[in-house]
Structure 1
Amino acid sequence: MYLKISQILILIYLTQFINAQDNFLVKSDNFEISEEEFKVRFELTPKVKTGSDINEEKTNFLLTLAAEKLWVSEILANGNYNKENLEQYLMNIERFYVRDAYFKDQIADKIVITNEEIQKEMEYYRSIFYFNFLYSDNKSEIDSLYSELNKGISIDSLLTNRDESQEQLSPVQVEYSQMNIGMEEKLFSLNINEFTKPIEVDNDWVIYQLRDKKSKGLSNQEFNDAYQKSSSRLREKKTKALYEIFIKEFYKDKKGRAEEKEFKLLVNKLTEVIQKKKDKTDEEKIILYYEDILRINEDIEYSILEKPLLFVGEKEISLKEFIHYLAFKNFEIEKSNLANLPFVLNNYIRKFIELEFLYLEAKVKGYDKLPAVQKELEFWRDNYLAQLYKNEITDSVKTDFEKNQNLNNDLVTEVKIVEAVTDDLESVNKILASIDSGNDFEITLKELNINLKTPQFNSDEYIPLVRTGSYKELISEMNIGEVIGPLNVSSGYSIIKLLDRREIKSDSLSQLLREQNLFNEMENVLEEKTAKLAVKNNIKFNFDSLNKVRVTDVRMIVYRKFGFGGVLNAVPFINQFYEWKTIYDNIKELSL
């Protein structure tokens, strides 16, 4: 068994500035695909392990990318899409990239690290620290203990008969990067037998005393690793410090507010949607997704949607715009906390206002006009429009699909799947790291202390392949025993394992067979239409140049972590779609 996508999750900070290239891999009447665009999309898109050589994989991906561009050209030409929804979607994407560019200019690019600072950081890395601690959930008690320490009473005496003494029969060992940066700074700078002031930790209080410090030897490889990790950790510390200074200064004169009438209206509409969804899920957490929240727009008069809900300084944010923001973010609330819905919504509003001040200031400074930001937005725009076109075609096929055939002689594919679903990236890492170490998927899920969501599929049952939804294309390419993930799903991230596959007679399964045939028909129609669009657009490929493009072929799913907050896929995800090229070649050959 192996992972089709590696467990490595890369968080990319800051905008990648993409340089325009003159050497194009695809040219047509309406679009071009440069080497640089191909390289970025190829390397940052998670790919299924197929056994193909790298040139074949590059070719298939280029054809997939070309199909996306062809669909975009067609839907832009016919104008058959909701322009307002596209505008709101792109605005929410733009907020990430524009704030990120502002962060880069104001904070990240101002970080300077000297060799002396790295050496000091490496000293922390090479050290093992030993601490005793005093703990209390009462501020008065911890202050009294601190006073006793200052009088010269030893921590050993104070620990006598205290509950926390059982956790430190010998001093607690701590090594580099095991604590958060703020705590690490306080503790590692202590001298032997020096103690901290009371430190608040999760509403409790702790006093630490450094009892001993030992150095550990490093091999040459360990030394190089230590240098890299120390440099990275030091940059993280400096970034955090500069960020805190910047934020304190930035927000000192900023004011935002919400309109009470529109706020109450939104609370009422959210309550209606939540009540309808509450009884349909066993999950404690209720999540309103894109479609759930956008239904609110349909229940509110347009004139009211245009009214301001928020004021970010002098900038008005309409009720409609904020509803689109909530739809983009997804709205989450615990069932047990429904009575506090206004408070939960207020937290969303407060966070939005904080980030919107940064976005508006970044726009004033022109970061939204940067070529790299515009190129990133083009990726997301194309992906959004391409999906709309694909949906339009598949919906049309559904409407027209009325085949009469002898069902009893056909077979239906069924699969058995085990699935893990979580909204926590750290949990994803734990699961995949365990599997990559050779542990069984099902045993891993039982042994790891991870809070998983209810999976879509029951591992005890066979289900028709056509009813695996967005998974069906990936599952159809998997071998039994293979694992794939993490996959982005509405409730977070999914990791699936194919347990078994079988073909069964279609007796009494005529509806399933129709669904399977419908899926095949959708693929056939989309391939044919894509091939014809390629002819219509006079598409030309430069496969010689493509074979010379050097790429990093690492199996991973890549996320981008943005300055000032937020995480997205590094690039929009796109399913492989390249079989249309055979039809295209046949059309071209017949036209000769």
Structure 2
Amino acid sequence: MNRVSKFILIVAGFALAGVALAGIVVFLSCAKKEATHKETLVARVKDRTISVNEFIRRAEYTIRPAYCRGDNYIHRKIVLNSLIAEKLMALEAGENNELTNNHEFQQYLLGRKEQAMRQWLFYEVGIRPVKLDTAEIRRLYSVAGRVYRVSFLNCPDHETAHDIYRKLTVGKISFEQMARELSAKKNVPQKEIKFDAPEPDVVHQALYEPSIKKGQLIGPLEVAPDSYVILRVDGWRSYPALTDQQQADRLKQVKDKLTERQAIARYEKFIGQLMGDKKLQFNPEIFKRLVNILGPEYFKTEKEKKEMFNKKFWNKDNEMMVRKNGLEQLGEMAGQTFFTIDGQAWTVERFMDHLQRHPLVFRRKKFPQNQFARHFRQAVADMIRDYYLTRVAYERGYDKIPEVQRYEQMWKDNLLALYHKKQYLDRHDIKGKKGMAIIKEVLDPYVAQLRQKYQDQIEINTDAFEKIKLTRIDMFAIQPNQAFPVVVPSFPQLTTHNMLDYGRKMDYPESGKDL
């Protein structure tokens, strides 16, 4: 499994069907290894640290600028210097400023931490207990080399899907005729499906069976709430794993798929037990008013969203940043009950405050405006589910996990550095200067001053650094269907310095505790 798939297990949508299945994302990279060993640090800046894993994620899970995009030694030194510069600017920003005192900012960081705690919970509840069956591994391995050609029909609801499937199976209508009736394009939608393609697991389970035959109808399969697909297997090509490396890679793919499948099933059972006796009841009048206020916010144009995001740079994950007039209406109903659950009443004020630490996640990203109420109800229910999962995570002490704390600190330092960078640039004349000129002429000299200022408090683990390898592939990693989908902060474009000519060699290159 590559670094991204180690870091995130995704149950993605049936791409051409235009839907998305709720995904569960694993917080850890090489989770099992990190859960039993201490993390290796590559740098320490006063009381801040940068682990090897963080270095790799910050370099590979977002787009690096051209001046350090390569995998050579010079570029790796620029990456490290940039991450250290970010810590230095965060230190200069301090712990008591306009940003750190902002309640919404505090809630955002808390939300980031709590999401990491839930992902750790998923590992402990779902992944750690998995025991794979050898016979099941062999069965799946035998068909994992297939690339299927399928035709498919998208169906809007359960009743329609089953009615279509019945007509197809009894021969009342051909697959082609039904496709023409359902699609304005009047053709049969088709696609290829590989074993490692990000399709819903229900599709994988149905297709990757030794008993599958050419021409077979499969379905209806529910690939998202109220979204079904019927497949027809048009054929397949088989690609045997010939070399030792190909066989090892395929075996790992199979084990990862079976692990993911079992882990999600275990976690869903855990959630069912946790939420089984809890009843969510909405206040109909307040629910309707919130739909009327928040609905238009979800359907803002991309230009409107960008304008609002630019005003709150730390929370670009949030699809629903409310306009001033909407906030005024929400303020008028702040004390009224929005819903009750488990004997607790949630007021509108409490709900809106909680949204700052857990933005709503809609199971489907695109839907008509007249369906907003239904999808809003589901998103609120999912938010409440995560609220109770977070409580379990706190009870288990996952907020004290070093990796969770480091994850929160990474985001905090990134945003503090951006805040300080803006303040610094606002005090300097950069009119007419563009990105690279600003870095070289303004930021490089300033970061050099900071390196000198903190010279005695910077340590670098050169032994660990020398062993790090980076890819040259541009990548932007996201976690679908999470409150905060962006995996790591944007790369800190603060310096082009390409030498490790400061600080001292690290004496204690490990951090955290054995878990």
Specify if TM > 0.5. yes
Task: Quote how far apart the aligned CAs of 1:72 are.
Answer: 1.9
> Conserved in 2, the CA contact under 8 Å of 1:135 and 1:142?
no
The change in CA–CA distance for 1:231 and 1:123 in structure 2 (over 3 A counts) is: same
> Conserved in 2, the CA contact under 8 Å of 1:255 and 1:313?
yes
Q: Does 1:293 align with 2:310?
A: no
Q: Does 1:76 align with 2:88?
A: no
Task: Quote how far apart the aligned CAs of 1:59 are.
Answer: 3.0
* Partner AA of 1:386 in structure 2: A
Structure 1 residue aligned with 2:394: 363
Task: Quote how far apart the aligned CAs of 1:162 are.
Answer: 7.8
Structure 2 residue aligned with 1:252: 276
Task: Quote how far apart the aligned CAs of 1:377 are.
Answer: 0.8
Q: Does 1:377 align with 2:389?
A: no
Question: 1:41-73, CA deviations, whole angstroms, 9 ceiling, x for partnerless residues?
Answer: 445454234377733323323332222222222
Partners of 1:396 and 1:238 in 2: CA distance: 55
Question: 1:159-207, CA deviations, whole angstroms, 9 ceiling, x for partnerless residues?
Answer: 78983699999xx998756775324434536476997786356767859
1:153-172 alignment runs, 5 A limit: 163=177
Partners of 1:366 and 1:96 in 2: CA distance: 14
> Conserved in 1, the CA contact under 8 Å of 2:141 and 2:254?
yes
Task: Quote how far apart the aligned CAs of 1:551 are.
Answer: 0.9
SS at match of 2:477: strand
Q: Does 1:124 align with 2:148?
A: no
Return 5+ residue gaps in structure 1 as ranges: 1-6, 149-154, 404-411, 413-465, 467-471, 477-518, 586-592
Question: 1:475-521, CA deviations, whole angstroms, 9 ceiling, x for partnerless residues?
Answer: x5xxxxxxxxxxxxxxxxxxxxxxxxxxxxxxxxxxxxxxxxxx84x
1:216-295 alignment runs, 5 A limit: 218-220=241-243, 222-259=246-283, 263=287, 266-267=290-291, 269-270=293-294, 289=309, 291=312, 293=321, 295=323
SS at match of 1:254: coil
SS at match of 1:182: helix
Structure 2 residue aligned with 1:354: 385
Task: Quote how far apart the aligned CAs of 1:100 are.
Answer: 0.6
Question: 1:109-168, CA deviations, whole angstroms, 9 ceiling, x for partnerless residues?
Answer: 12211332211112223568899999995745754775x6xxxxxx7xx77898369999
Structure 1 residue aligned with 2:27: 15
Which of 474, 477, 494 is the aligned partner of 1:559?
A: 477
Segment of structure 1 superposing worse, 59-68 or 172-181: 172-181
Partners of 1:24 and 1:191 in 2: CA distance: 50
> Conserved in 1, the CA contact under 8 Å of 2:59 and 2:79?
yes
Structure 2 residue aligned with 1:185: 205
Identity percentage over the alignment? Answer: 19
1:397-476 alignment runs, 5 A limit: 397=428, 473=435, 476=436
Partners of 2:323 and 2:153 in 1: CA distance: 53
Question: 1:420-469, CA deviations, whole angstroms, 9 ceiling, x for partnerless residues?
Answer: xxxxxxxxxxxxxxxxxxxxxxxxxxxxxxxxxxxxxxxxxxxxxx6xxx
Q: Give the structure-2-normalised TM-score.
A: 0.65
Partners of 2:175 and 2:55 in 1: CA distance: 66
> Conserved in 1, the CA contact under 8 Å of 2:62 and 2:488?
yes
> Conserved in 2, the CA contact under 8 Å of 1:132 and 1:168?
no
SS at match of 1:219: coil
> Conserved in 1, the CA contact under 8 Å of 2:196 and 2:253?
no
* Partner AA of 2:279 in structure 1: K
> Conserved in 2, the CA contact under 8 Å of 1:138 and 1:205?
yes
Partners of 1:130 and 1:59 in 2: CA distance: 46
Segment of structure 1 superposing worse, 10-19 or 382-391: 10-19
Bigger Rg, which one: 1
SS at match of 2:407: helix
The change in CA–CA distance for 1:302 and 1:62 in structure 2 (over 3 A counts) is: farther
The change in CA–CA distance for 1:44 and 1:319 in structure 2 (over 3 A counts) is: same
Task: Quote how far apart the aligned CAs of 1:554 are.
Answer: 0.7
Greater share of strand: 1
SS at match of 1:557: coil
Task: Quote how far apart the aligned CAs of 1:88 are.
Answer: 0.8
The change in CA–CA distance for 1:89 and 1:318 in structure 2 (over 3 A counts) is: farther
The change in CA–CA distance for 1:286 and 1:90 in structure 2 (over 3 A counts) is: closer
* Partner AA of 2:328 in structure 1: D
Partners of 1:294 and 1:256 in 2: CA distance: 25
Partners of 1:273 and 1:203 in 2: CA distance: 24
Partners of 1:135 and 1:548 in 2: CA distance: 50
Structure 2 residue aligned with 1:574: 491
Number of residue pairs matched?
A: 446
Question: 1:377-412, CA deviations, whole angstroms, 9 ceiling, x for partnerless residues?
Answer: 1111111222222223334447xx8x9xxxxxxxx7
Partners of 2:410 and 2:345 in 1: CA distance: 28
Question: 1:4-58, CA deviations, whole angstroms, 9 ceiling, x for partnerless residues?
Answer: xxx9965624233486568763444x54556665455445454234377733323
Aligned Cα RMSD in Å? 5.3
1:384-403 alignment runs, 5 A limit: 384-397=415-428
Task: Quote how far apart the aligned CAs of 1:261 are.
Answer: 6.2
Return 5+ residue gaps in structure 2 as ranges: 10-25, 29-33, 181-185, 313-319, 503-515
